[in-house]
Amino acid sequence: MALKGVDVSKTVSAGGLVFESLRRAIIEGELKDGDPLRQDEIARLFHTSRIPVREAITMLEQQGLVKNHRFKGAVVVGLSLAEASEIFDFRCIIDAHVIRAAVPHMTPALIAEARAIYEEFSSSDDPMRWGDLNRAFHLTLYRASNLPFHLATLSNAMDRLDRYVRAQLVLSEGHTRANIEHLEILEACARGDAAAAADLTVTHIRGAQHALIVHLARIKAGFGSA
C-alpha cells in the first residue's frame, strides 16, 4: 500500500491520526480510485487495532472519499464528470460569498501572508507542492470571513477535487494560469474591492472547472491517466 505508517498505539486520538493520514494519501493521489482500504493491513501499518481504522474509514466515507461495499469493504472513490462539475458549481457560489465577506476584514498582515504564499506558488518548480500552496492561498484569504461553517464545507469540497486539481495543474497550463489569476484576486483584496475579488474568484474557478472537465474526459476516453 502506498502509505506511510505511524506508530499510534499510545495515542489517544488514534482514529483521527489514521483518518488524516489516509485523507492526505487520497487527496495527494498516493491512494487512487478503486484502491481497497484493508482494515487489517492499515491497523498493522499504524500499530493499532481495527477500531480506530474503522472510525477513520467512517469519517472518510462521510466526506465522500471512500465507499463501503458489502463483501468487498472500503475502496477509494473517484468523481464522475457530473459530480466534479456540480462541486465546481457549488464552489463558485460559496467561494464568492466567502471572499466577499472576508475582504472588509483583511489586515495588511493577512494580505502579506497570502502574497508570500502566492510568491512561493509562483516560483515553485515542484508539482508536488502546487496543490498545497494553491489551497493555502485561497484559505488564507477566506480566513478573514469569520464563517467557520462555510469554510469547513468548502474544505470538504476541496478534498473531493484536490487530487484532480493537482493533476490538472501538472498536465495542463494550469500552474501558469493560476499564477496570473491568483495575483489578480490578491490585488483586488489588497485594494479592498470585495466585488472584484468575488468576480475574479468565480472566473478562476470556472477556468479550473473547464480545464479539469476536459482532463477527466480525456482520462475516461483513454487518452491519459490521473
The pLDDT profile of the chain, 226 residues, written as one tens digit per residue, is 666 665 555 545 788 899 889 988 887 778 888 899 999 999 999 988 989 999 999 988 887 788 888 777 899 887 788 888 999 999 999 999 999 999 999 999 999 999 999 999 999 988 778 888 999 999 999 999 999 999 999 998 998 888 777 777 776 678 889 999 999 999 999 999 999 999 999 999 999 888 888 876 776 676 544 3
Q: Is residue 7 part of a domain?
A: no
- Whether 107 and 137 share a structural domain: yes
- Whether 147 and 96 share a structural domain: yes
- Whether 177 and 93 share a structural domain: yes
Q: Is residue 96 part of a domain?
A: yes
Alpha carbons 219 and 166: distance in angstroms, whole number: 14
- Whether 109 and 211 share a structural domain: yes
Range of the domain at 64: 14-76
β-strand partners of 22: none
Q: Is residue 140 part of a domain?
A: yes
H or E stretch at 75: strand 73-76
- Whether 123 and 47 share a structural domain: no
List helix spans (H) across 65-107: 81-102
Q: Which of 76, 104, 127 is the last residue before a domain boundary?
A: 76
- Whether 110 and 215 share a structural domain: yes
- Which CATH number goes with the domain that contains 51? 1.10.10.10
Alpha carbons 42 and 50: distance in angstroms, whole number: 8
Q: Which of 76, 102, 123 is the last residue before a domain boundary?
A: 76
User: b vs e for 63-94, b when ≥16 Cβ sit within 10 Å of the residue's Cβ?
Assistant: bebbeeeeeeebbbbbbeeeebbebbeebbeb
Q: Which of 45, 76, 107 is the last residue before a domain boundary?
A: 76
> What is the total count of domains within the chain?
2
